Structure 1
């Protein structure tokens, strides 16, 4: 019947129930049923983790827990509650009951155990179980109070870990137990005759105590968390239950307070919260706290019509530090980077470690976008200073992307995404700089996503093709090898050049799969030409920095050479100078392993990146390719002519062959010939072409 109480509960007091159930429909049904009966306040949690959090933060008289919960199941939750001293009766529900489950949950401390009915009849059983468990709980509580009063002078009063204080009707302390003294610091003699207000901490106001006494006067009891003060002055949290003992006329003759020190429990809760919201390495807030703080800041900015900024900070060359010095050194660097970023911020700003070498700066209030730019410059400057890592002076830099509310988005996720885009654009633009987000970046990101998706399909559906550009030996005046260049025969866009998709492949990681396809294609082509061209013909293929650092590159090459019976001596690997940034020692190990297979190596785009005489001598290169930017107009540009002559002479002194690429005029060719360049490549001598066309040229040459 609507409004009928099924439980003997104090007038005016609702029973606080939490129902932890991932079936929303079932949860609402029980909530509705109990609401109709009256006297219940039912809260709902959708998984074990959320339920645990609520039980830690709020007081509940009873918990109903589904056994098969996501994240934490009913049994795990019971054990955590028990281990953390959270005293709440728990009724366990399960869809499929077994004796093993029943025994386990009852052993773990469940107050009752019910099996759900397919027809929903278990709802009434739950209601009955609530009544039964609540009555048992009330009965146990009354028995405890009666026992405490009756056995006041007996041993149990002395040995219980809970503090007990007994007052008369005027709240004058009549007795305390040893645990009271242990917890509060007041001896028996100091406490007796005093008012419990000696424990008052002033953490609670008069209204709080007014509500407490109102409950005691109306229902005869009160229970809750309260902060009191020890004799030392230390303020600490208690869980306190006060019950009025009535005389035969129904008037309160005594009050019994039973309390426990929950400092450890609160500390554990704080520890759990801290672990969930702070990075264990740097001690900085983590992603979870970022979402919370950024959400609050965004809400405030919308309400107050102010601006905020999110800065996405990513370290440049961190992978090299990690690989070269080890993970411990990398961790040391990240800790110091976190400190330096924090030192560059205003008091109101927050630095968060997102993951790896990525940090977020939240600026909750800015007057102008330039404010965020100034902070970004300070961060970059702070990080560019040398680090002492493992007794070595080390340098890194940072790229920073900035998104500003309201112009760049009105949602935390969108602002983070846009700051991330701006950061990547800063990296692409040369690193060690900051960039603000603009709409064009979003369009570029969408375009990249389309290219990535279509490129995956291109690899699957055979839309890729190798073109070959002739390389001429100037001494022999004949083609001796060719550079293998990938092309994409897009079904709608036609022939797509590498510059339009290789950067996307690099960024997305598809370059590994794409590189493996190129290796297979080159080895397969060598097999196809085995009896049709001069056996001394060599094919060169480009290997990106990402491929070079990939652990499986040497195995991919060896597998393809074996599978297609390709002569390893016919394969030249071209590597850009920038690969050396990743660590010459590590690169040398890889090159030595591949050199042992019979492969040759060229430094590609020589003169445009990072190299030195020391590395040219140390690493097993067979030659270098002078970049087209130096070859263009070399016959008329005196500065270029001096550089190219120096490169050729240096290479020959190191016993390296020289390939000049980008040769487009007879004058450029003549200059290179006159200065003893070994090989030339460019549109003057032949554009990249399909395999069939290149084969025809080779056969005519023979």
Structure 2
């Protein structure tokens, strides 16, 4: 039900209006005889729409409209007046009236028209409120994301800049929202330049080449890289995807940047440790074609086995372990890479450069689809 406040200093017209509107639609009508009384009710109650006469003693319709716009916001307001003065109509429009209706004619037809205008104004306001609520939820969600996140519209204007990105860049949202021309890149690169969010909206092979790790999958771009913020080196994993409006059309894009500096530093430290291990280590990973392929090893693996050529990254495991004993290792490694776990084979003979050496082999999963082989 739509609640209506009907303001007119003519009691008969208020009664007629209440009667016709109740018959015309699902309306609850409260009638008052002055602008002052309307103000008192508006301070105590809320209404979906206000209909007001213009010429009333004490407070006219325009003055009531000014009060409503200042104190009550965007409540739909219909000015219902017997005067056809263009100046009044212009003043009403400038003050924010929704509809201007001149009195006269068949009351039934006139109030049917007013009922239609009420429904139109209320539906329009509710739609705008729904959009604002949706936008507010969007900004609230963005703000509480743990990753640094920002969004732009299709023109490249920043429409969201969350708290985490404020924290890591020291740049406030109020200084960023509304800016364009690649302003979002300045806190990261010190200059205006495309980021992966821009490449999502406007692909550019030349710029994409500057992101060696860039990967496109459907409507999502991911990339990782190094950025210097406040003089400190950071590793970020960036991910950008489209934003859509209520009609399913692309409305912009959103990018999140996850600071993976601790993980990268740990990985680099682990790599340095592995490189200096006194035992041999190789990593094998299952590729898309199903092959189990070497992705690297430490110097000790080559020194201990003498298999430098066979240990090279890109070699399938069957080339590294080609003999009968090696086939057993290949089967076990593939099973561990796919299913997890660990296994071992002791006193394995490995032939390299005409010499046979014996090693204890230890195999374990390091990641889904990946297995490590240790030579002890």
TM-score range, shorter chain: 0.3 to 0.5
| TM-score computed with the length of structure 2 as normaliser | 0.36
User: Using CA pairs below 8 Å that are at least 6 residues apart, which structure has the higher relative contact order?
Assistant: 2
TM-score, normalisation: structure 1: 0.20
The structure carrying a bigger strand percent of its residues is: 2
